[in-house]
Every structure is written in structure tokens, then in C-alpha cells.
Chains A and B, each alone.
Chain A
Amino acid sequence: MSTLTDTAPTRSGVLSNSAPNPRPFRLVRHSLALAKRSLIKTWRTPEALIDVTLQPVLFLIIFVYVFGGAVAGSTHDYLQFLLPGILAQTIATGAIAIGVNLNTDIAKGIFDRFRSLPIPRSAPLVGAVLGDVVRYVIVTVSTLAIGYVMGFRIDTDPFRAIAGCLLAVLFALCLSWLPVLVSMKVRTAGAVQGVMFALIMPLSFASNVFVGADTLPGWMQAFVDVNPMTHLVASVRGLFLGTPLGNHVWWTLAWCAGFVAVFMPLALRAYRKKI
């Protein structure tokens, strides 16, 4: 600071009052700039990815080797059946992190800085949601990689396999508006985690993730049949293994649209109210 003189940066006049922002697509541009911020944060704190990378490993090992023989007669058959389900479960759990992160972020004060800038109010939120896509891709790749090492093989073709992965990522992206909404409503990051686990756990266990739905009692089957997780898992299974797809992809996309249509406006409203 000793070098401080009057040679301070001259006023560039980039932002004069008479010229309200003329450049188009502001929400998109600003959201992307803020998504990059989330990305840098993910990159800088790789330990934050441990939960989502370790979870599929543990679940696959425990379920395949402990229950595989009993449930499916062979561990390899069960691995083929289970992996798409574990992918769906992990990616849905991975979506919780955004709620936790947002809650901490807002408590720290950078959102006040964002709000004092001439950017769309929702840009920081949209940016954070978009930035998490990278996390979902990492989850997908690491789950498939560990599955591959354990002996999982894709029975269809690369295009359908990629379509399955993209569907899972899209599902997480749309679902993430729910944890965002929860993070605006509860006070602490821990509470976000608690509420979200209570919501995600029934979705992933009362589904076709671990076992086929036909052995379940009727009332539970009714729930399993509408559970968005069931549709996602059936879609990914179909795209990875060639099992019948039915209307599952359409149902999954409908659920995705539903998540965005319901939770995004609620989350944005709660966000405007909160800060």
C-alpha cells in the first residue's frame, strides 16, 4: 500500500447511468459466469466429491457381494441389475449437496455482493444449479468406472449408454431445485442435509433400485409405480441393458419437467424473500 499514489485506475466509465445494460441474454451470461464460480469451487475442494464418489462404491460392493447371491442367484447378474439403480440413487443424493452449499454460501455474505450488482436477481441461483452439472457427470463416470472394474458390462450400444447417462444427469439437474428450495426454507446446512435425506431415502428404497417391484406388497407397489426414481432406473436399465423401455423415458422426462415447473418458481420466490 505504500506505493499508493494518485495513479489509481482511471474511471473507465463502462457503467454510466445513462446507459442501462444494452447487451442481450444477461440471465444466461451471468448465470454461466456464476456457474463457472461453482465449478472452480468444486475443483478447489475435491474432498467435497468424496461422498458422491465413495457412496456408489460402497453400495455396489455391499449389495452385490452380500445380497447378490441371495437376490439374483449370482453376483454378476445382480451387478448388471443393480448398477443403473445405484447410479440413479447416487446422482439423486448428489443433488442434495447444492442445497447444503447454497445455505453456507448465503450465510457467508457473497450473495449480498451479488445483489448489489446490476445482474438479474436469480442469476446466482441459476448459476449454482448449472455449475453442479459437472458434479453429476463426475458421479456418473465414477459409478460406471467402478461398475466396470467389478464386471459390469453395457449390453446395448454407446449411444444408448450415453443417452442413459444424460438422462440421469438431467434428472439430477431438475431435481436439484428441490434441495435449493429446502435450503431457502431451513436455517442451517445440516438441516438441509437432514430434510433431503428424509425425502430421498424413501424414494430410492421404495423403488426398483435394489429389487424388482413385483415382490412388494400391493400398497407399496402403487407407490413404486409412480416413484420418479423407478422410472429413471427403468429407463437407464433399458438404455444400458436393453430391457423393455416402455414409457419410462417419457415418465422420467415428465417428472423432470414437473420438478422444474414446481420447485424452480418456489425456490426463486423463497430466494428473493430470504435475502
Chain B
Amino acid sequence: MTADLVIEAEGLVKTFGKTRALQGVDLAVPRGTVLGVLGPNGAGKTTAVRILSTLLTPDGGTARISGFDVVRDAERVRQSIGLTGQYASVDEDLTGRQNLELFGTLLDLGRAGARRRAAELLDWFDLTDAANRPAKTYSGGMRRRLDLAASLVGSPDVIFLDEPTTGLDPAKREDMWDVVRTLVNNGSTVLLTTQYLEEADALADAITVIDHGRVIAHDTPEGLKRVVGGQTLEVRPSDPAQLPRTAEILTQVGSGAQADEIRKGVLAVPVTDDAALTESVARFATAGIAVTELSLHLPSLDEVFFTLTGRTASEDDTTRPTEVAA
């Protein structure tokens, strides 16, 4: 089992002045899988990625990428990783193509090899039309794609994506998710940090939740959702007088708990599967209830954290994470 761990970290500690960014973090990612590292701003996600990608030296603990120590064998580690994050960026004055060709040259692909690889990546990331424009003229989504393409020039085995979709709109986020899935299908191992449970759930084989530099949970997405609560169905009937009837229907399609009014005029109920959405729509139609809002979502990061850290078992009188966050 441990033989096939591509990313292994044990007891990582990093202190910046008085800030203890990491206080003993363990991470493990088997080959060909995606680990989602979930945590709020300042949890230590970026520090962990910077240590694993050899940009920072840990104060304590060890980490290995493909068996190479990130401190002692940093050079070997750099040959097998690709890094994408707000900080590891591209040169804004260079065009997309020049950027990729520069990285190809630096990775010793040779002149022709660098050119070919750049063309391949531009094509894959739909940047061929913009290839000869300076990167500073790119839109946010294009910039992210170029950043990601730049980290793939050397066909790395291990890819670090530090909050790859923060600030992107939902459609662009889905595009990025597709890219990650393709990378994994091609055999890459990915460590992805994110602030969204949805993103980790969509992409990751396992999720490590960190907070204040410590791992507070490590599980499969399913396991984690069992702990923090699954999806919630939220409905706002257009006529407030219909609230009791709506609540009744929601309780029937839900996973067993009573529907509650979480905000004024909005009812919510935990559900177990996506079918609950279509079922509720059908039932509202039959009952003649018009709704202005209807949504299905996973608990937000706040809710996850509240569940994992903010409550003791005795207070845990409900499985409704939305309520505790309110």
C-alpha cells in the first residue's frame, strides 16, 4: 500500500514568525488518484503545497514525492511535479505560446520539442486563437487555463492545483473540473486544494480537511458527507401561505428529517439523492404550489467546519448543517 503512495507527508510543521501555519500535517495520495485538501483561507493549504512542491522547507516532518524527499532530493522532485496556483504564475508580457515554449526550453524538451508541446497544450486548452497575444490581455478563465497548461509542459506525474477555480464562474469551474478528470484518466496523481466541498466532492477520491494547520478529518467524499450531512434541498414557495403544505411535501421527499424554515420564507430538508429534486418538482406541480427558488446543494465550508469542529456530540441534536450555520 505505502509502496504506491505518490505523495506522502508526515508531521509537516511550518512556522512563520508567531504564526504556526502547519502543526503536524499528514497527507497521503495513492498513484492515479485525486486528493482534495479542503480548508478555509489561512488553514495552511498553500503552505502545505509550497512545501510539497519544494518552494518552502518544512521546519519539521518529512515529505516525499514519488519516493524522493522534498528537501534532500528537491531537484528530482521538481522533475516530476507541475504546480498551479495564484503565486506560480506565467509572464504577463510574454504571449501564451512564448510562455509555454520558455517552460519547454527550461525543461530541456529541445527547441522543436518545446514548440510542439506548446502547440499541443494551446490546442488542448483552447488557447490557440489567443496564442500570440500577451498573457496580460487574457480573461480570468484563459489565464487559469494558461497557468495550468504551463504546469503541464513537462508532462508531470504529480500535479498540485492550489485553488484552481477560486474566483471562476460556475461554467468555467466545470471546464476546469473536466481538465482535472482528463489528467487523472491519463494517469496523473493530483493534489487539489479548495474551499468548496462541492469541488472536492466532484473530483477527489479522498478528502483531507485541514484547519489551523491540523488535519481534522480524512475520508472519502461519501464518508465525509455522512459526517457533515449530505445535500440539502431548499425551496421558497412564491406564496408564503403555502409554507406548511410545502414543508409537508419536503418532509416526504427528504431523507427523514422534518423540513425547517432556515430563512424567512425558505424551507430546507436534507436529502439523500438527486432524484429528490425531480420528485419534489413533480409533487409541487400536482399540489399546485408555485416556487420561486429551488436548489440542491452540499454543505458550505462553514457548515462542514462547524460540524467537524464547532460542536460536541451532546449538542449534536440535528443532522441539518444549514441550521447550525444560520
Instruction: Check A149 for interface membership: any CB of B closer than 8 A.
Output: no
A33-B105 contact, Cβ under 8 Å, with A4-B179, A11-B187, A116-B55 = yes
Instruction: Check A3 for interface membership: any CB of B closer than 8 A.
Output: yes
Q: What is the size category of the interface that chain B forms with chain A?
A: 35 or more
Nearest CB of chain A from residue B163's CB, rounded to whole Å = 14
Instruction: Check B121 for interface membership: any CB of A closer than 8 A.
Output: yes
> What are 23 A-B interface contacts by the 8 Å CB criterion?
A1-B145, A1-B175, A4-B178, A4-B182, A6-B182, A6-B186, A8-B183, A9-B121, A14-B154, A14-B155, A15-B155, A17-B80, A109-B88, A110-B89, A112-B55, A112-B83, A112-B85, A113-B89, A113-B103, A113-B151, A115-B54, A116-B81, A117-B103
Assess the A44–B76 pair: CB atoms within 8 A.
Answer: no
Assess the B75–A118 pair: CB atoms within 8 A.
Answer: yes
Nearest CB of chain B from residue A88's CB, rounded to whole Å = 29
Within 8 Å CB of B16, what residues of A?
A: none
Assess the B78–A117 pair: CB atoms within 8 A.
Answer: yes
Instruction: Check A45 for interface membership: any CB of B closer than 8 A.
Output: yes
Instruction: Check A108 for interface membership: any CB of B closer than 8 A.
Output: yes
Contact indicator per residue, chain A 41-78, by CB within 8 Å of chain B (1) or not (0) = 10011000000000000000000000000000000000
Interface centre among A23, A37, A112, A113 (most CB of B within 10 A): A113
Question: Footprint of B on A, CB under 8 Å?
Answer: 1-6, 8-15, 17, 20-21, 23, 26, 29-30, 33-34, 36-37, 40-41, 44-45, 108-110, 112-119, 123
Assess the B83–A113 pair: CB atoms within 8 A.
Answer: yes
Assess the A8–B79 pair: CB atoms within 8 A.
Answer: no
Assess the A33–B125 pair: CB atoms within 8 A.
Answer: no
Question: Which residues of chain B in 132-175 are interfacial with respect to chain A, using CB atoms and an 8 Å cutoff?
Answer: 134, 145, 150-152, 154-157, 175
Assess the A108–B93 pair: CB atoms within 8 A.
Answer: no
Instruction: Check B68 for interface membership: any CB of A closer than 8 A.
Output: yes
Contact indicator per residue, chain B 109-129, by CB within 8 Å of chain A (1) or not (0) = 100010001001100111000
Q: How far is the CA of A40 from the CA of B75 in the complex (A)?
A: 28
Assess the A11–B109 pair: CB atoms within 8 A.
Answer: no
Q: How far is the CA of A11 from the CA of B189 in the complex (A)?
A: 13
Nearest CB of chain A from residue B273's CB, rounded to whole Å = 28
Q: Which chain A residue has the least Cβ–Cβ distance from B187?
A: A11
Within 8 Å CB of B152, what residues of A?
A: 9
Nearest CB of chain A from residue B120's CB, rounded to whole Å = 4
Q: Which chain B residue has the least Cβ–Cβ distance from A10?
A: B186
A108-B178 contact, Cβ under 8 Å, with A1-B125, A8-B186, A117-B107 = no
Assess the A110–B90 pair: CB atoms within 8 A.
Answer: yes
Q: Which of B75, B88, B94, B154 contacts A37 (CB 8 A)?
A: B94
Assess the A6–B54 pair: CB atoms within 8 A.
Answer: no
Q: How far is the CA of A139 from the CA of B68 in the complex (A)?
A: 48
Within 8 Å CB of B155, what residues of A?
A: 9, 11-15
Apart from A11-B186, A34-B102, A118-B79, what 16 extra A-B contacts exist at CB < 8 Å? A1-B145, A4-B124, A11-B155, A11-B187, A12-B117, A17-B66, A17-B68, A30-B106, A33-B102, A36-B102, A37-B91, A45-B93, A112-B55, A115-B54, A115-B55, A117-B107
